[in-house]
């Protein structure tokens, strides 16, 4: 007999699944790859069970499958339903370029395998998303450019194959900054991806689609790539964890190149434990990528075994003052990161200030992206006679790119890879690595800490300033990006720990200890749990005045959890009404005024910004209302009816 799903508290908005693939088809997301032979009709599968996937860890999902509370098909359908509800509808995150139309079939096959032979490991049946510069045999690989629309290599990237071998379900491909050539995630094929914590802002890049998808619980985790910050910046901007590993930790085979001396691939995840599971499945030596030979005998048996709640105790961490901004615009981020470093200190780490003279000048002139991109892309495309374009010049000639990339592509197409200039840059990289190594030894620190971005994520269409991406990329040293906290208006901020070459395992341990103490992860406020497979509908509720003398005063409200729209109908004769956040002492200042003194209407609506929506759902907002009879306080609690 099928076990009835446990009732989820109303406060958390129970997630149920409808026809997920149909939703994604109607949203234009499903990419249909050519099939060989006549289609075979599959017997109708029973409807998926109600399962909760929002913020669920890989371990928790595995336990659900082991205990029979869910199947991989149930979990896959749940994620597909969230994509259908929130990617092109509702907040319209626009994180996905394509959804795998065979995802449910693949999940069912893995369910059968589990029953017959047992699970392959911790990723068996777990849905993940893949950045669309990784090759996938069954889905197009476009790099986000219309120049490669529909292009398929017919093979899996090394790391994608490792994921499949581990039993992961490839749920779909994610948007990226076109050809990975930027850090705000806009592309001619995929458009602009938005930050699920503040829809007006970018998710970072170039792996912004993967980051937004993971942050919004579209999948259990996802694959990204990092040439100069493309794992770490999206991790910071989306309250996630991401490791740019030591160069050689993981294979680049099957990833569209941006700069072969700086490229590396790796996962993004909501927890360090999930990150470790994804790393265990994807790192290791690849005969087709010579850099990975250096990983031989340097990898742990399992990154997951390195997780240690007490790893920070007795550790010395250097605060790299070079990478903290000095402009007034940098103060906000610096303060948030400093408070995160206090958490490290509270767990037994010793925090010391470190300045490395000359580092900024050396690192600032150590990138080879401009000199390598054109040739690397041409060499990659030459492998495929059927590729629709063969060079960056051809992409420019056709105008097959987003206007935001025009200056970047023209600059890189005009660059001449002068051997002497390349030699000078490589010398600066060696010097940067030497300076960092010397500082680590001199100050006896295991890692250097600094903000991932010195400034908050920018509003869409603005250039992002303040990146600290190049230090790890130039030295080849690993850097772990972690959530530091949030700005006052709910924008995520991140920081990094950079260690010496092959200290990846130690950085994972330190990040886990920080995570367990600080608990910095918050769910995205714009993508709440589904109800019966759909985005939750507006909730109507009333609020009565608290205490004498105005106990008869009642106002009516309606709240839409997806849009944040709060409609109100206030009592006739209301003179003023304003929303405040409840505090331990007197209520906070006015957040919103509900009435215009010059207008007679007592009805209207406001939109709560994303960071204020959890306050409403937690009952932490009040309306201070004044009538001719006196003042009254109304507590807003839409889910406490």
Decide if 18 is inside a domain.
no
Two structure tokens written together for 185? 């995630």
Q: What is the predicted pLDDT for the residue at 16?
A: 35
**Do residues 225 and 207 lie in contact, with contact meaning Cβ atoms separated by under 8 Å?**
yes
Catalytic residue among 152, 217, 230, 259: 230
Q: Are 513 and 603 contained in the same domain? A: no
- What pLDDT score does 547 carry? 65
Place of tokens 């330190």: 510
> Is 88 among the catalytic positions?
no
Task: State the pLDDT at residue 551.
Answer: 52
Active-site residue, from 72, 152, 188, 206 = 206
Domain CATH code at residue 547? 2.60.40
503 & 544 share domain: no
Residue with tokens 């920080």: 514
Q: Are residues 318 and 217 in the same domain?
A: yes
Contact 20, 104 (CB under 8 A): yes
Based on the fold, state whether residues 446 and 577 are members of the same structural domain: no
Kindly state whether residue 21 falls inside one of the protein's structural domains. Answer: no
Are 496 and 588 found together in one domain?
Answer: no
Same domain, 370 and 233: yes
Q: Which residues are registered as beta bridge partners of 567? A: 558, 605
| pLDDT 10s digits, 585-618 | 667 899 999 987 776 678 999 999 999 999 999 9
Kindly report which listed range (21-30, 65-74, 532-541) carries the lowest average pLDDT score.
21-30
Assess whether pLDDT exceeds 60 at residue 634. yes
Q: How confident is the model over 286-308, as a mean pLDDT?
A: 96
Whether residue 625 has pLDDT greater than 60:
yes
Chosen domain end from 468, 488, 518:
518
Within a domain: 43: no
Lowest mean pLDDT: which of 35-39, 290-294, 463-467, 601-605? 35-39
- Domain end (from 454, 487, 518): 518
Q: Which of 131, 161, 173, 374 is catalytic?
A: 131
What is the mean predicted confidence (pLDDT) over 386-406? Answer: 98
State yes or no: is 225 an active-site residue.
no
List the domain range (segments joined by +) for residue 581.
539-636
Q: Measured between alpha carbons, how far is 554 from 380 in angstroms, rounded to an integer?
A: 67
In a domain, 532, yes or no: no
Give the C-alpha distances (Å, rounded to integers) separating 77 from 46, 218, 524: 12, 10, 20
Asked if pLDDT for residue 632 goes beyond 60, the answer is yes
Do 561 and 510 fall within a single domain? Answer: no
Domains contained in the chain, number: 2
DSSP letter, residue 504 = H
What CATH number does the domain containing 272 carry? 3.90.1300.10
Residues 486 and 568 in one domain: no
Same domain? For 496 and 559 the reply is no
Mean pLDDT of all residues belonging to the chain: 92
550 and 427 inside one domain: no
Percent of the chain at pLDDT > 90 equals 84
Q: Are residues 361 and 422 in the same domain?
A: yes
Backbone angles phi, psi at 92, to 5 degrees: 50, 60
User: How confident is the model over 112-117, as a mean pLDDT?
Assistant: 98
Q: Indicate if 545 and 397 belong to the same structural domain.
A: no
Q: Please report whether residue 35 resides in a domain.
A: no
| pTM over 0.85, yes/no | yes
- What's residue 545's pLDDT? 84
The last residue of one of the domains, among 455, 487, 518, is 518
């Amino acid at each position: 007999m099928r076990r009835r799903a446990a009732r989820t508290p109303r406060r958390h908005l129970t997630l149920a699944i409808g026809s997920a693939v149909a939703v994604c088809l109607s949203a234009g997301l499903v990419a249909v790859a050519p099939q060989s032979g006549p289609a075979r009709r599959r017997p109708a599968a029973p409807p998926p069970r109600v399962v909760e996937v929002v913020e669920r860890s890989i371990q928790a999902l595995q336990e659900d499958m082991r205990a029979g509370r869910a199947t991989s098909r149930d979990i896959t359908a749940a994620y597909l339903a969230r994509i259908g509800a929130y990617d092109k509808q509702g907040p319209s995150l626009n994180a996905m370029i394509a959804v795998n139309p065979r995802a449910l079939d693949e999940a069912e096959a893995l369910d059968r395998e589990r029953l017959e032979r047992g699970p392959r490991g911790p990723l068996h049946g777990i849905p993940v998303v893949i950045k669309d510069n990784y090759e996938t045999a069954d889905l197009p690989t476009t790099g986000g450019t219309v120049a490669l629309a529909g292009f398929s290599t017919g093979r899996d990237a090394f790391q994608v194959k490792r994921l499949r071998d581990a039993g992961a379900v490839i749920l779909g491909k994610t948007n990226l900054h076109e050809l990975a050539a930027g850090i705000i995630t806009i592309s001619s094929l995929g458009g602009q991806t938005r930050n699920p914590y503040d829809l007006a802002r970018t998710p970072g890049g170039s792996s912004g689609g993967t980051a937004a998808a993971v942050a919004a619980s579209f999948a259990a985790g996802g694959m990204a790539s990092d040439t100069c910050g493309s794992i770490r910046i999206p991790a910071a901007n989306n309250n996630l964890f991401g490791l740019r590993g030591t160069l050689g930790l993981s294979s680049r085979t099957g990833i569209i190149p941006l700069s072969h001396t700086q490229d590396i691939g790796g996962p993004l995840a909501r927890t360090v434990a999930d990150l470790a599971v994804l790393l265990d499945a994807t790192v290791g030596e690849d005969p087709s990528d010579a850099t990975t030979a250096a990983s031989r005998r340097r990898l742990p048996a399992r990154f997951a075994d390195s997780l240690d709640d007490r790893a920070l105790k007795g550790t010395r961490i250097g605060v790299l003052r070079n990478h903290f901004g000095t402009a007034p615009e940098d103060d906000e981020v610096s303060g948030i990161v400093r408070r995160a470093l206090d958490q490290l200190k509270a767990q037994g780490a010793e925090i010391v200030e470190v300045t490395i003279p000359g580092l900024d000048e050396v690192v600032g002139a150590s990138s080879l992206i401009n000199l390598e991109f054109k040739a690397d892309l041409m060499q990659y495309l030459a492998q495929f006679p059927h590729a629709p374009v063969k060079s960056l010049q051809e992409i420019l000639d056709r105008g097959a790119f987003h206007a935001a990339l025009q200056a970047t592509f023209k600059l890189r197409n005009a660059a001449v890879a002068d051997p002497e200039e390349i030699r000078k840059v490589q010398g600066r990289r060696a010097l940067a690595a030497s300076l960092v190594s010397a500082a680590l030894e001199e100050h006896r620190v295991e890692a250097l800490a600094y903000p991932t971005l010195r400034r908050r994520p920018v509003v869409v269409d603005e250039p992002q300033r303040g990146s600290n991406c190049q230090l790890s990329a130039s030295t080849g040293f690993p850097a772990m990006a972690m959530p530091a906290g949030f700005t006052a208006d709910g924008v995520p901020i991140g920081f990094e720990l950079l260690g010496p070459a092959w200290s990846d395992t130690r950085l994972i341990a330190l990040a886990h200890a920080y995570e367990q103490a600080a608990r910095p992860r918050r769910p995205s406020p714009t993508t709440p749990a589904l109800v019966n497979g759909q985005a939750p509908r507006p909730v109507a509720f009333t609020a009565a005045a608290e205490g004498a003398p105005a106990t008869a005063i009642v106002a009516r409200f309606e709240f839409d959890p997806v849009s944040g729209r709060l409609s109100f109908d206030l009592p006739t004769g209301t003179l003023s009404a304003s929303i405040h956040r409840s505090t331990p002492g007197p209520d906070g200042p006015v957040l919103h005024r509900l009435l215009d003194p010059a207008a007679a209407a007592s009805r209207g609506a406001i939109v709560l910004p994303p960071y204020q929506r959890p306050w409403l759902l937690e009952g932490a907002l009040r309306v201070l209302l004044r009538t001719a009879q006196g003042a009254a306080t109304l507590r807003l609690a839409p889910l406490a009816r």
